[in-house]
Chain A
Amino acid sequence: MPHSEKPFKLSVPDADIDYLRKKLEFTRFPDHPDGMDWQYGVPIENVRRLVARWKDGFDWRAAEARINQFPQFTRDIEVEGFGTLNIHYVHKKSEAKGAIPLLFVHGWPGHFMEVSKILPLLTSNAGHHAKFHVVALSLPGFGFSEAPKKKGFKIRQFAEVGHKLMLALGYNKYVVQGGDWGFTISRNIAYYYGPEYVKAWHTNMPYTGPPTFAADPLLYLQYLVTPLSPQDVQGLKRNEHWYAEGRGFTWIQQTRPQTIGSLLADSPTGLLAWIYEKLIVWVDHYHWTDDEVLEWVSIYWYSRAGPAASVRIYYEYYHDFEASQPPWSPVPFGASHFPKDVFYSPSLWVRALGNVVYEVRHDVGGHFAAHEQPEILVDDIRALCELEVVSKEFDY
């Protein structure tokens, strides 16, 4: 029988903290010839500095206490074909009447704490805008949720977990928001569970190729006759550069997750470099403090299933790409484009993803929008949910 909800307080055992410190003490750094900038990967002085602080100076217990200010829980969710998975999540209700339940879905190398800045804004009872009950889960295999034990846990299954969690919390009507894998998962949740349960979905990373005739003949026709704007041309050029230079990690994770996983599990320095590179390269002038970075990476290091589990989503997605691309859904869809995110998508193409009722292109912000530009993202979510087509479903 699935267990009912249990409150959760993050409490990494002392032994694990000591173990990490020991590992860091025995770090062996790579050599680093002159002239190697960020082009070659993380410059060594950054790695050394962060490792030194992680070993001595970074206060994990203080970080933990900060994390524990967010109300967290676990509960068992049954996933068809995979048995029961114990899922960890943040859940904060708004005091407002008619608040809209919102599921926040993170990606890689993200985690549930990406919700931390938008949560107070979304749940706040002040002002006249839409208010939200916020649920932010650790995806299976991430953070403090269990990982699936069997092969073939695809986007469909991630979507199932998110939906069943909302139902279990008593939310028969909800909206969903995500970027990175959160985008793909939100899209699947909207298709499979909307419009009956899912009343809107939003992404800060609308990612798609050009329209195809098979999927949407009219849109395809429109695509053929519509010239690309200068902004489109520039954006697609940036995509090309990304495909050539920025996707090495994707490639290894989607083909040999167990091999790269061995490295991720065993070397905290390597894990730090692997993730830190993304935190720096994918943002728009966001100033990370060292402790912010270390708190972020520590969640991966101390994760329930270990960091290797987190990369299998790439493998499962890549090996059944078709299954993760649901057809167009009428569920109201909002898209926010941030200029420094890793992919650029022309607005015309985004219409293939869903029923675009709200779209905006921003001047600032990168991949981790909820963390970098929380006010902007919250404005977008509110704007989407205040549209008649969404708000009529909720009593606010």
Chain B
Amino acid sequence: MAEKSFKLAVPDTELDYLRKKLDLVRFPDELEDAGWQYGVPMDAVRRLTARWKEGFDWRAAEAKINELPQFTRDIEVEGFGTLNIHYVHQKTVAKNAIPLLFVHGWPGHFLEVSKLLPLLTSDTGDDPKFHVVALSLPGFGFSEAPKKKAFMMSHYAEVGHKLMLALGYNEYVIQGGDWGYAICHSIAHLYGPKHVKAWHTNMANAGPPTFWASPLLWLRNLLTPFSPADVKGLQQNKIWAADGRGYAAIQQTRPQTIGCFMADSPMGLLAWIYEKLVTWSDNYPWTDDEVLTWVSIYWFSRAGPAASARIYYEFFHKSGSSLAARSTTPFGVSYFPKELVYTPRLWMRTVGNVVFESEHESGGHFAAYEVPEKLANDVKSLCKLESVSKAFK
């Protein structure tokens, strides 16, 4: 099916329905002085809910989103038939531009690319220039959701790759964090270095080298003492694993049960996502309308918010694929201090062919949205390397 241009236009009935639901909201009680200790504080949730019902202008937000050139097209996925995929596609006027696929995660979406777009497609300066494609993953945003179970990482990768080919990009680079990291890892493994000339992540996440998979790295790891930063970071990881992953635990085991909530309660969905926006970012000054736009994309998503949880289930149950094997595709990593997990630099070499690394003083999980210049610069630096840029001359 040929590409169709897309303009986000949520029907009035949906807006009315949301407002009715918000009218009927019932808030939980709260302990005195709870703060953020027990989860999201109710004063913030109440304030946001009130604004979502009255004051937040979705049509204005929609208009702003529609400033981005968006399209849909059907992509065939082996075993799953055709999925209609939504994406942003912005070309640069510059010559020798590098096609870049941006892959979001959870609770992210295609709009996370919005601040990167002008930086990557800009025609000025000596840095590489990019054509940027940012899809809504199947089951997220305005893409269809798979109609069957067992949609694995390799299937998400297939969608991303086929989209780039369909757009005429036989050779391209990819960038992603959160699930975007795992998916880019798969794309690089499955389609690089023939099609994928480089891949980049802002969420460095890897375990230690094992003797079987990487004996030389394993040896190096044994002989290399941990730096103070490593010790601190790995300690933080322990806390994260015990304290921060409740949402993942339920999404990866009972997505349809938690999905009932996400589909039915806008205030609940708001609480569920807002908690991550605040606790996973590095003091990013979210405005209420920014949050509400973000959550609205989940609320108004084509398949509904429940679909987005299933990526956790399928990955956790690994009946087919998980993190792909290491590829020779040039790999760039940006380390942000407030990312959810810390990985010693050595360990990242088990994941891919690290040719570029950059360490930052600020920035959290939503790097493309929080610190777009830093991320854009890193992507450009990666693609400036001879091993990458030669493919696009």
Which residues of chain A are within 8 angstroms of B215 by Cβ–Cβ distance?
Answer: none
How many angstroms from the CA of A195 to the CA of B177 in the assembled complex?
58
- Are A34 and B148 neighbours in the complex by a CB distance under 8 Å? yes
How many angstroms from the CA of A34 to the CA of B260 in the assembled complex?
16
Interface 1/0 per residue, B23-65 and A, CB below 8 Å = 0111111111110011111100100000000000000000000
Scan residues 172-216 of chain B and give those whose CB is less than 8 A from a CB of chain A: none
Partner of A248, one of B28, B32, B249: B249
- Are A34 and B149 neighbours in the complex by a CB distance under 8 Å? yes
User: With an 8 A cutoff between CB atoms, is B232 at the interface?
Assistant: no
Beta-carbon nearest neighbor of A257 in chain B: B38
- Are A308 and B29 neighbours in the complex by a CB distance under 8 Å? yes
Which residues of chain A are within 8 angstroms of B253 by Cβ–Cβ distance?
Answer: 244-248
Which residues of chain A are within 8 angstroms of B247 by Cβ–Cβ distance?
Answer: 252, 256, 259
Which of B97-105, B301-309, B325-333, B383-391 contacts its partner? B301-309
Q: How many residues on chain B are close to A (CB under 8 Å)?
A: 62
Which residues of chain B are within 8 angstroms of A28 by Cβ–Cβ distance?
Answer: 17, 21, 263-264, 304
How many angstroms from the CA of A148 to the CA of B253 in the assembled complex?
31
User: With an 8 A cutoff between CB atoms, is A65 at the interface?
Assistant: no
User: With an 8 A cutoff between CB atoms, is A262 at the interface?
Assistant: yes
How many angstroms from the CA of A253 to the CA of B246 in the assembled complex?
8
Q: A35 to nearest B CB, angstroms?
A: 5
Scan residues 247-289 of chain B and give those whose CB is less than 8 A from a CB of chain A: 247, 249-265, 267-268, 270-272, 275
User: With an 8 A cutoff between CB atoms, is A85 at the interface?
Assistant: no
- Are A258 and B30 neighbours in the complex by a CB distance under 8 Å? yes
- Are B41 and A258 neighbours in the complex by a CB distance under 8 Å? yes
User: With an 8 A cutoff between CB atoms, is B361 at the interface?
Assistant: no
Q: How many residues on chain A are close to B (CB under 8 Å)?
A: 61
- Are B246 and A254 neighbours in the complex by a CB distance under 8 Å? yes
Q: How many A-B residue pairs have CB under 8 A?
A: 205
Do A277 and B246 contact each other (CB < 8 Å), given the known contacts A26-B21, A29-B263, A306-B29?
A: no
- Are A149 and B32 neighbours in the complex by a CB distance under 8 Å? yes
- Are B306 and A267 neighbours in the complex by a CB distance under 8 Å? no
How many angstroms from the CA of A282 to the CA of B16 in the assembled complex?
40
User: With an 8 A cutoff between CB atoms, is A22 at the interface?
Assistant: yes
- Are A309 and B29 neighbours in the complex by a CB distance under 8 Å? yes
Q: A85 to nearest B CB, angstroms?
A: 14
Partner of A256, one of B39, B261, B307: B39
Which residues of chain A are within 8 angstroms of B26 by Cβ–Cβ distance?
Answer: 19, 23, 265-266, 306
User: With an 8 A cutoff between CB atoms, is A157 at the interface?
Assistant: no
Do A258 and B304 contact each other (CB < 8 Å), given the known contacts A28-B264, A266-B26, A277-B257?
A: no
Beta-carbon nearest neighbor of A149 in chain B: B32
Which residues of chain B are within 8 angstroms of A252 by Cβ–Cβ distance?
Answer: 246-247, 249-250
Do A312 and B31 contact each other (CB < 8 Å), given the known contacts A28-B304, A30-B306?
A: yes
- Are A270 and B250 neighbours in the complex by a CB distance under 8 Å? no
- Are B28 and A30 neighbours in the complex by a CB distance under 8 Å? no
Q: A108 to nearest B CB, angstroms?
A: 15
How many angstroms from the CA of A65 to the CA of B249 in the assembled complex?
39
User: With an 8 A cutoff between CB atoms, is B126 at the interface?
Assistant: no
The list of the 3 closest CB pairs from A to B, nearest first, reads: A30-B306, A308-B28, A41-B256
Given contacts A248-B258, A263-B272, A309-B29, 7 further A-B contacts (CB under 8 A): A27-B264, A34-B147, A36-B256, A149-B32, A256-B275, A267-B265, A270-B265
13 contacts between A and B (CB under 8 A): A31-B303, A40-B254, A41-B260, A151-B38, A247-B253, A261-B28, A262-B265, A262-B271, A266-B265, A266-B267, A269-B264, A273-B256, A308-B28
Taking beta carbons and an 8 Å cutoff, which residues of B are in contact with A?
A: 17, 20-21, 24-34, 37-42, 45, 145-150, 243-247, 249-265, 267-268, 270-272, 275, 303-307, 310, 313
